[in-house]
Every structure is written in structure tokens, then in C-alpha cells.
Chains A and B, each alone.
Chain A
Amino acid sequence: MGRKRIAACLSFILCLALLAGCGGGTPAGAQTGAKDSVVVVMSPTSEPEAGFDPAYGWGAGEHVHEPLIQSTLTITTADLKIGYDLATSMEASPDGMTWTVTIRDDVRFTDGEPLTAQDVAFTYNTVKSASSVNDFTMLDRAEATDDTTVVFHMTRPYSIWPYTMAIVGIVPEHAYDEAYGQHPIGSGRYILKQWDKGQQVILTANPDYYGEAPMMKQVTILFMEEDAAFAAVKSGQADLSYTAPSYGDQQVEGFSLLSVATVDNRGLNLPAVPRSGDVGNDVTADPAIRQAINLGLNREEMIQNVLNGYGTPAYSVCDKMPWFNEDTVVPYDREKALFLLESAGWKAGSDGIRVKGGVRAAFTILYPTGDSLRQALAADTANQLKTLGIDASIEGVGWDVAYDRAQMDPMVWGWGAHTPMELYNIYHTMEDTGLAQFSPYANAQVDATMDKALRSADLETSYALWQKAQRDGDAGISADLPWVWLVNVEHLYWARDGLTVAEQKLHPHGHGWSIVNNVDRWSWK
């Protein structure tokens, strides 16, 4: 019987070997001689589950980007000002209640039909009624007055409308239905060739594109978790992949780390009113505390400790945007911070923690549970504050309670949108409470300046007003400091050697489609 048993074992091993063997053959290389295609890995959350339909948020949302498959009226330029794609001119009426945009007349959809102002009006009326992700409450309706002119009737003045126009892809009225997002037709640089849901998107260059012909003829985008994405790089099956700072010290043969500057910031809200009910904080209500925190935090050290060096210090919610005021930048000055605290009456107690009028300089810094980066930033901030005599403990909270808790305690937030509306919503008061939405703060002057910015008829004027809201002589947001900004997180990618990734504009919050905004201008050496 022994022989039989051995035979059984051998055949079992043979079976296993066969099983492994049938996977043999040539490994599927991403680069088989083709020099005009590229394989890019993004996180699974980047997949537009609802399809490539602007009405369902394609191009918009958390991570704004160019829709690639469709054309837009405007685009954001390298310095995040406004340029033209389909538009040839745009003008707001003096009261800001209508926008008139003329478009080029030589553009065709990839099914051969011409793109007209009717398509533009149809697109905006559609996204307005669906309004599933992006905000279109400022738009009343869009109307095509002839083939190349479209008029937007607004519900309120909205000077930064061109930033909204930069993310809305124009869809063809004749080929639009509920399922458009599954097989989109556009007039952009690329055509959606194939979408294997939950796995990959294959884009090919639009041969009839009205602009410069794309240099990359095929773009394959994979959606993978961080570990799998790294494995794809190590096995050489991807050309470019997102990664996290924690992988920054790894070496991969044939790849180098590409670091992209961002406005993807992290900052703390400091409730600027004393505690009353469930709103406010008695410690951070003191301006001296807020100023001392802003001056006394060593942001460079934080970047080394938490981000392995892949970040830049942040001083506002909109660093380096056209509406950013450079006067908000304050150099690290520990001595001045200590002096401010002392002269405001915050004296060190027996345990080294400062006390003023019976109030201990102590509070909790919140972070969203599961966000290790924000947790690390909270911990590093708490450590640094301790040396200033401020006792901060840290606590993780779920998003179901985070918004309410942040009305009383500082929390680590992440922002960074390509629109000044963010600045507006963080610092402007709400009608019902008279305080700002995310953290209690009110300054009538700031409110008035930002309202004026929204009402102004041209962008340049509005930029100046947004800047004035941040700093106006000795006043403004950066004097009140209801928020203190910590870092801008750089976005990291593994890029295959030989791949030239075109110059990137500052990325917004989140690791997503922004990297391929200009994939048509990438090339292989």
C-alpha cells in the first residue's frame, strides 16, 4: 500500500505544480514597446461609480479635476486663474445677475455632431436639476440665445462662476439619457474606450480633437488599494501610481518618487467665542492663546516628524491660490508666543501649565478616527503646545459627532478646494446663528468684504477683496485667527524612469484624477 500512497502524494504535488504552471507564460507587461501609452494607478475611491456624467459629479466634488472626456467652457491655468477652453469670451452684467459666454463654433462631439450653445445650456440645466454633488443653487437657468452664445441667469451674484464653469463637462443634448455616464460622448481630449467597473478605465486619444493632439494615445487607469498599488509598481505593471509618505523611504528599481505641491491643507479650528451651551471654548476664546499657537508651532518640525518632509507650512486655507494674501504668513517665533501669553496674564502654574483667572490653558484636540495623518498631526501639535505651557489632549471622534464637537473643541480638518467659496464658508457667519458654520467666529467687516467679493463683476477685483478679508492692515481673518493652519500635504507618486509628467498645477484636497489633468502632454524619453 505504501507505494500507492506515495503515488497519490506525487500526483497531488503534480496537480499543484500544474495549477501554478498554468499561470506561466509571459507576464503582462505594461510597457511592451509602446511609447505613447501610460498606465496610472489611483485609489479605489477615485473611480466615478455613478459614471462619467457631470450631472452625477464627474469632475466635481471633493477632488475637482478636468473631465478629459468632455470639454469645459473655462479651465484653470497653471497659477489657478481662469483660461478658456470652449469659451471665447465671458462677461458678467454689472449687477452680477447674468453671465454671457460665447463659445467656439468649430467643435464637434466624437459622434460627429457639432457642439452648440444649445448643448451648453442643456448641460447646465441638467446638472442644475440633478445637482447631485456640485452646488448649482446660484444658477437659475441657462439659455442659448444663438448657436454660439449662452446666457446664464443667476439667483444671486456669484463672481467666481468661472471656477464652476471649469469643472462642468459639456454633454451632447442629442445623446444624453439616464445611462450617459456609462458610455459618455464628449468633445474632450480623450474617448472612453472601456470601463471595467471596479478595475480599470481605458481612454484613447480623440483623433478629431480641436486643440493640440494628445501625445499619449492611450491612458489606462487602474483603481487599487495602497498595498496593491505598490505591488503594481514593484512588479513593473504600472507606470505611475499614487502612494503615501509612509512608503517614501522605499526604493523601487526603475521608479522614482514624484512629489506634487498642493493646497491639500490641514488646520485646527480654534473656537473664538467663550463657552455658552454647546458652543465655544473659554481657552481658545482668548486671542492671545490663538496668536501664541499660530506663532509658537514649528511647522517645519511637524512636517519632518509627521510627513517625512513631504509637505509645506500652511498659513491659510488657500495658500498660493490667486485669492491668497501673503501677509498671512508668520514666521515661527517661540519667544514672541511666550511673551504674548505672559503679557495676556497666562502664568505658569505648579504643573507648568498656564492659568489665567482660574481657567487652565487646557483643551482637547479632536481628529477623525481612522485618519492616521490627522491623528499624528494632532499628537505633534499637542506635544509642541505642551512646551508653551498649554495642555492639549487628543481624542478621535466619528464624523457623526465631529461637526458638533468642533463647535466646542479644536479639531484637525483638511481643506483645499480650487474655489474661494471654501474661504467664504469657513469664515462667513450664518444667518440663523450669527456665527461661522464649522467653528464659532464672527467679524462683520470680514463678512462684508467677502460678500462684496462675491458681488464684484470681475475676477481680478474679487481676488483683491478675498485677500482683503484675510488681512486688512491690522484686521482681518489672519489677525483674529479663528483657525490656525498647519501643513499642506504633498501628493506622492511613483513614476517610472523615462516618463515625463507635465508640470502640475497645485493639487486640491485628495489624491485623485488631478494628476492626469494634463496627461495628454506627458511623454516618454
Chain B
Amino acid sequence: MKRNLLFLSKNLLKMALLLLCVSMVAFFLVSVSPINPLQANVGQTALGSMSPEQIQKLEEYWGVGQPPVERYLAWAGDVLRGDMGTSLIYRQSVASVIGQRLQNSLWLLVIAWALSGTIGFFLGAVAGANRGGIWDRLIKSYSLITASTPAFWLALLLLLFFSVWLKVLPIGLSVPIGMEASAVTLLDRVRHAILPALTLAITGVSSVALHTREKMIDVMESDYALFARARGDSNWRILRRHGLRNVLLPALTLQFASVGEIIGGSVLIEQVFSYPGLGQAAVAAGLGGDVPLLMGVTLVCAGLVFLGNLAANLLYGVVDPRMKGRESP
């Protein structure tokens, strides 16, 4: 019990430190960015027909000319009291904007993450076990191609193929066009999530597959695998008994580390598919100079990535009981 408590508090401290550093870096980047929030949100033309008094009012609202350190301290103080502030663009509390958006994004992310993990692991294992074979070459080239494909471009291709040519999937959004909210079924929502989730999964597969393949090759060339072969074990049996077990651990690490990549990828994908998730809000906040919202999104994403890594740490002990004594104090 005491050990668990220690473990927990140590990790909470780590997370607090991480969030502090992330927020400081993010705030620094925002303050040196060349975006003029008045220009971005009110627009040059609208500013052109305003009186100087009005422009001054708007500058106050958007925090133009306020020293960044002062702004940061004010913001950080509010966050410590549990108030993430009010979004300047949406004019709602940052927490509620993020809440709405996260709901939409979360299941997109979870589907993509699960798909890319399982498919990637499966492909990597097959490729590694058949090194040099036709499957290996196919899987390897597939992974290399998708790894070097920009996600938004792939998204556009899928959009063109499935929505414009075949017309079997919707062109975007998370609900059908013009349909009343009460009439939207779960199936509708699933259909609208297929393309964005698929895009994320396809690009996410490659890194998991390639890493798993490398590790699998190591295992298959190890002494114990050689010994098993000499004993007359079949390839499949070696894979099952030695390969998969030894590959599982690094694959798990990779899978949870990829949470960050999936979130990053979703920012662009959501733009292409007009999907109203966290990524869309992040882009709006970034381009519009909405500092409180951007900081909120950054913190939430950093928190998710940290939790992903923490989950990997916890799962090590479950997957490999030998690590229990060493890993967690």
C-alpha cells in the first residue's frame, strides 16, 4: 500500500513538472508567433472601418501588448485554482469547449489507436518471422510508403475514392448533413468516423509494424531461437513460443508512445474531414491567437500522452511479472 502510494505521488509529481514545462514552452512559442490576433479574428477590413477607440478596446480584449511573463503568471495562477479561463474565440469556458471537442475526438482516437496497434503488431510479426520472404517484402514496402505519406494527403485520397467516386461514405462531418440531432443513429456516427479513423490507422500502422519487425528479426536470430530450431520446432511454433512473447513488451511501449503521434495526426485529419474534434479547435485557437484555449488543448494533449506512457509502465508488470519487482518501487 505504501509502495503504491509512493509510486503514485512520484508519477503525479512527474506529470506536474511535465505540464509546467510544456505550458512554459507553449506560452513562449505563442508569444513569439507572428500572429496578430486582431488581424486574425476581426480582420483587416473590419479594423479599417473602426475608430481608434474601438481598436484599443479590442486590443485589450485580445491581450495585445501585454507583457508575456505577466500574462503567463496570470494564466498559471488561474489554472492552479482550477480555472482554465475563457476561450477568446468561442466565448465559453475553455473546459467546456475542450469537453465538447474531446467527446468527438476521443472515440476517433481510440479506434485509430487500437486498429493501428493490432494491425501493426500483426504485420510486423508476420514480416519479421518471414524475413526476406514475399510477405516481408510486401509489408515492409507498404510500411515504408505509408510512413512517408503525409496524412492529410492520404485523407484527401481516401475522401476522393470512397466519397466522391464510390459515394459509399460521407465526405466529412461527424453527423449526416441536415439531419436532426435526435434522428442521428450510432450507425451514422460510425460511418462518419470510418474515413478519419482509417486514415489515422493506416499512417499509424507503419511505425508499429517496422519496429515490431526489427525486434522479431532479433528474436528469430537469437541463440534460443536457433536452439529451438535445432530441436526441430517449426517456424510457427518458434514464433508463438518465443517470438510473440519477447516482442510484446517493446510493442506495448511503442503502442502507448504512439498516443502522441495519433493526437498530432488527428489535428490535420480533422481539418480535411471537417470533423469537429480537439484538433479542429487547436487549429482555430492557434491561428486565431486564442491563448487560453490553445494552452488548454496543449495541456490536455500533454496529459493524455503522459497517461499513455504511464499506462505502458503499469502494463509492463502485468505482461512480464519478472519486472514487477524492478520497475515499480
Contact = CB atoms under 8 A, between A and B. Distances in A.
Nearest to A64: B46
A137 B168 CA distance: 53
B9 interface: no
Interface in A416-455: 416-417, 419, 421-422, 424-426, 430, 437-438
Contacts of A61: 42-43, 46
A202 B162 contact: no
B174 A199 contact: yes
Contacts of B284: 44, 49
Given A30-B177, A225-B274, A417 B46 contact: yes
Contacts of B271: 225
Contacts of A62: 42-46
Interface string A125-144: 00000011111111000000
A209 interface: no
Nearest to A32: B178
Given A49-B89, A416-B45, A135 B181 contact: no
B88 to A, nearest CB: 9
Given A197-B276, A200-B173, A417 B49 contact: yes
Contacts of A227: 156, 159, 272
Interface residues of B, number: 65
B223 interface: no
B303 interface: no
B236 A39 contact: no
Interface stretch (A90-98, A215-223, A384-392): A215-223
B326 interface: no
A223 B46 contact: no
A198 interface: yes
Interface string B157-192: 001101110011111111111101100000100110
Contact of B177 (A23, A63, A200): A200
Nearest to B194: A23
A131 B46 contact: no
B48 A417 contact: yes
A contacts with B: majority SS: loop
B70 interface: no
Contacts of A398: 34-36
A9 B234 CA distance: 19
A135 B51 contact: yes
A234 interface: yes
Nearest to B39: A399
Contacts of A132: 58, 61
B61 A218 contact: no
Interface residues of A, number: 75
A415 B167 CA distance: 40
A28 B275 CA distance: 17
B273 interface: yes
Contacts of B309: none
Contacts of B236: 1, 4
B231 interface: no
Contacts of B10: none
Contacts of B57: 131, 137
A198 B274 CA distance: 7
A137 B50 CA distance: 9
Contact of B170 (A28, A37, A218, A424): A28
Interface in B45-96: 45-46, 48-54, 57-58, 61, 89-91
B143 interface: no
Contacts of B50: 135, 421, 425
A20 B168 contact: yes
Looking at B54, B101, B177, B234, the one whose CB has the most chain A CB atoms below 10 A away is: B177
A211 B169 CA distance: 41
A305 interface: no
Interface of A: 1, 4, 12, 19-20, 22-24, 27-28, 30, 37, 39, 44, 49-51, 56, 60-63, 131-138, 181, 193-194, 196-200, 202, 218, 220, 222-225, 227-228, 231-232, 234-238, 398-401, 413-417, 419, 421-422, 424-426, 430, 437-438, 508-510
22 contacts: A23-B191, A23-B194, A30-B178, A50-B89, A60-B46, A62-B44, A63-B43, A199-B276, A222-B173, A224-B172, A225-B274, A227-B156, A231-B159, A232-B172, A235-B164, A235-B171, A398-B35, A399-B36, A399-B44, A425-B49, A425-B50, A508-B45
Given A61-B43, A400-B36, 15 more contacts: A1-B235, A23-B194, A28-B177, A37-B178, A49-B91, A49-B284, A62-B44, A133-B42, A199-B173, A225-B274, A227-B156, A228-B272, A415-B45, A421-B49, A425-B49
List the 6 closest pairs (A to B, CB-CB), nearest first: A198-B276, A62-B43, A398-B34, A421-B49, A220-B178, A135-B54
